[in-house]
Amino acid sequence: MREFWIKDPSYANEGRKKLEWAEGQMKVLMKIRERFQKDKPLKNQKISACLHITKETGVLLKTLMEGGAQVSLCPSNPLSTQDDVAAALVEEGIKVYGFRGLTAKEYYECIGYALLHKPTITMDDGADLVSTLHKLAYGIRGVDTEYVKGILGNFDERLINGIIGGTEETTTGVIRLKALERKGMLKYPVIAVNDAKSKNLFDNPIGTGQSAIDGILRATNVLFAGKDVVIVGFGQVGSGIAERARGLGAKVTIVEVDPIKALKAVMYGFNVDTLSRAAEYGDIFITATGNINVIRGEHFEKMKDGAILANAGHMDVEISKRDLEILAKEKVEVSKLMTLFRMRDGRKIYLLGDGRLVNLVCAEGHPSEVMDLSFSLQALCVEFIAKNKDKLEKKVLIVPEDIDREVARLKLDTMNITIEELTEEQKRYLNEWQVGT
């Protein structure tokens, strides 16, 4: 078996420096690491993680190793790997399979290599590993499963039966897992880390809010002030990006399908419109819906010369690349981060990061301090799975409330912030039903 498959092991020195920087920012996770070093709660566990290969993921996986686990890693996106970090993690003893710029075949081969390590616990960001594994278990054939089988060989049931649980990092992954659960096909419990409050109140709006704009700036250096920025999807991610774009002086328009979210956007002072109309005046379009073909041919036809398109949703299906290819007479790679589509009438439309997660492809993903919360939850959830392996139902599970609150409490501690405590009288009052007006 390959020990690793990365761009270049000689990049390790650069990667090590980045890991050290991130460790300095991820204080909660480092506290958890200290405890894991002593208690070894993950002894005998083998973890296969399908996560963006970034310095923050590196800090998480080093923590899991300190807890006693053996760890293999493949990326959750073909373009998000930081090759220097991958090299440093190989030096740390993690079996890393992935580099920036994977083809679809190579992407699934990386999943195959990670699975060759016969995990007892899986970690996903978008559910590609879990869904591939389930397709193999149910004999559902596809190009992806054929690529994985090319590495794994014939599927052995013992692979999936040996898994005690998994975790899922993002909204799109949770949606896919719930679909699997609804069909009665989920073969092991998976904790929806995305749905924890200390994840989705911070990572999705605040992390993506900053890092998606960072990605757009690194790719274009465009001025936001005075621009018409159209955000499609006003959920956790879209609402965060909208606030940050407004903070930079942009005129922000929201496109939504959910009347409650649309009304919320109105009440927060944003312009709300249909995409068909906004297509005519938008300068920058950012998708954050988790949905397919949200911006498509009929919208490209109406866009201004110089319109910029970026996606912050998990998959590269939100902006129809197929329609862009059909409508354009020429496609030019302006830089590694930006492609120009020249329309037949001469208008130019720019697509950033190949329509993939703009914050990870064009920048470095979320700031480490935000990932400190999400990945501390991940570490504690993995520990929870190891401790409770015989008690968990084969369902999509919520993060235990005490873990969620503990992560927030530890984060406040590391920020030297003390919060108010309820008095005994207040506790009693909040449990009363007899006291009225």
For ligand NAD, the binding residues (CB under 6 A) are 170-172, 204, 208, 232-238, 255-258, 261, 288-291, 294, 312-314, 357, 359
CA dihedral 269, 274, 277, 280 (to 10 degrees): 80
Determine the angle formed by the axes of helices 83-91 and 55-66, rounding to 10 degrees: 20
Q: Nearest-CA neighbor of 181 among 235, 233, 130?
A: 130
- What 8-state DSSP symbol labels residue 229? E
Min dist CB 429 to ligand NAD, Å, is 34
Alpha helices in 92-207 (DSSP H): 104-115, 128-137, 143-152, 158-161, 171-182, 197-200
* Between 371 and 382, CB nearer to ligand NAD: 371
Residues 283 and 228 sit within 8 Å (Cβ to Cβ): yes
Nearer to ligand NAD, 234 or 270 (CB): 234
Closest to ligand NAD by CB, 49 vs 386, is 49
Distance of closest approach, residue 319 Cβ to ligand NAD, in angstroms: 12
3-state DSSP percent of the chain in helix, strand and coil, to 5: 50, 15, 35
Nearer to ligand NAD (CB atom), residue 96 or residue 360? 360
151 in helix, strand or coil?
Answer: helix
Specify the residue, 98 or 238, whose C-beta has the smaller distance to ligand NAD. 238
**Burial track 127-136 (b if 16+ CB lie within 10 A, e otherwise):** bbbbbbbbbb
Q: Which is nearer to ligand NAD, 63 or 239 (CB)?
A: 239
What is the C-alpha to C-alpha distance for residues 170 and 371, in angstroms, rounded to an integer?
Answer: 12
Residue 127 beta carbon to ligand NAD: minimum distance, rounded to whole angstroms:
10
Residue 264 beta carbon to ligand NAD: minimum distance, rounded to whole angstroms: 9
Minimum distance from residue 91 beta carbon to ligand NAD (Å):
27
User: SS3 of 252, please?
Assistant: strand
Amino acid in position 113: Y
Q: How far apart are CA 97 and CA 76, in angstroms?
A: 11
Pinpoint the alpha helices (H) of 250-320.
259-267, 275-281, 297-300
DSSP run (H or E) holding 248:
none
Of 176 and 227, which CB lies nearer to ligand NAD in the complex structure? 176
Q: Which residue is nearest to ligand NAD (CB)?
A: 235
* Residue 174 Cβ vs ligand NAD, minimum distance, rounded to whole Å: 8
Least distance to ligand NAD from the beta carbon of 275, Å?
7
Question: Residue 4 has which token pair?
Answer: 């690793």
Q: Which is nearer to ligand NAD, 104 or 257 (CB)?
A: 257
Which helix or strand (DSSP H or E) is residue 226 part of? none
CB of 255 to ligand NAD, least distance (A): 5
